[in-house]
Amino acid sequence: MIFETLGRAVVIFAVAFAVLLVLALLFCLFIFHTNRIIFPNFVLFATSLLYEPLRRLLSFFRVDPTLIDRVSVEIRNALNYHEFAATRVDERVLLLPQCLRSPECPAKLSAVDGLHCAGKEACGRCAIAELSAACEELGVKVFVSPGGTFAKRILLQSQPKAVVGVACYNNLAEGMLNAKLVGVPAQGVPLTTPGCVSTTVDIDKIIEKCKMQKETK
């Protein structure tokens, strides 16, 4: 009797797992191909719960597994829009990844507040200088982060009202979740060329996000 009950429970669990996996996959593909966000909270829940199985399934069908992170980032951008856009521009921070630096970067990395860029005049070898100059005019604080733990600490210490994060899709999805956990609405902008060094970004898109305010009709 006990084995029969156990057997049934295993079958029910396996069916529920398979249904959730297929639904999550279909919703992700729909969102990715149509840019229309449906059932955002369900998709975020299912993709967090089944992150690895979904990635493996996509790889099996020779589809780029970062699709899961792309969809998560787009959903979080949409869900956070109103809260983010309601904040003042000068109460926001911009978190940049240190992989943007040039290999010849002369700046020192501080464990306390990240990288101190030498600026456009003194160096200007990467996008950090231009973004720092533009953000200084806007009143947006810029931090160049060596990793996720640093980024989370900066959010807790500087207590911004909102954050714009820049990273590869994978780190962006994780970073936006961390921002939500510490109560800071985030907008994410993916790298245009991901990697470990000399990555690139769309500077205009980042500035646009930093300045984003609620649309008035």
| CA pair distance 64, 55, nearest whole angstrom | 8
Residue 123 interacts with ligand SF4 (CB under 6 A)?
yes
CA torsion through residues 104, 107, 108, 110, sign: negative
Measured from the CB atom, is 40 or 124 closer to ligand SF4?
124
| 15 within 8 A of 7, measured Cβ to Cβ | no
Residue 203 interacts with ligand SF4 (CB under 6 A)?
no
Measured from the CB atom, is 8 or 116 closer to ligand SF4?
116
List the interface residues with ligand SF4, window 89-108 (CB under 6 A).
101-102, 105-107
Measured from the CB atom, is 114 or 188 closer to ligand SF4?
114
SS3 assignment for the chain: CHHHHHHHHHHHHHHHHHHHHHHHHHHHHHHHHHCCCCCHHHHHHHHHHCHHHHHHHHHHCCCCCCHHHHHHHHHHHHHHHHHHHCCCHHHEEEEEEHHHCCCCCCCCEECCCEECCCCCCCCCCCHHHHHHHHHHHHCCEEEEECCHHHHHHHHHHHCCCEEEEEECHHHHHHHHHHHHHCCCCEEEEECCECCCCCCECCHHHHHHHHHCCCCCC
Q: Which residue has tokens 């856009």? A: 85
CB of 117 to ligand SF4, least distance (A): 3
Which listed residue (55, 125, 141, 209) binds ligand SF4 by CB under 6 A?
125
CB of 190 to ligand SF4, least distance (A): 19
| CA pair distance 157, 114, nearest whole angstrom | 13
* From 4-12, 55-63, 82-90, 112-120, span contacting ligand SF4 (CB under 6 A): 112-120
List the interface residues with ligand SF4, window 127-146 (CB under 6 A).
128-129
Measured from the CB atom, is 124 or 194 closer to ligand SF4?
124
Measured from the CB atom, is 129 or 140 closer to ligand SF4?
129
* From 85-93, 122-130, 150-158, 165-173, span contacting ligand SF4 (CB under 6 A): 122-130
CB of 170 to ligand SF4, least distance (A): 22
Which listed residue (40, 65, 124, 146) binds ligand SF4 by CB under 6 A?
124
Residue 117 interacts with ligand SF4 (CB under 6 A)?
yes
Q: What are the residues binding ligand SF4 (CB under 6 A)? A: 101-102, 105-107, 115, 117-118, 123-126, 128-129
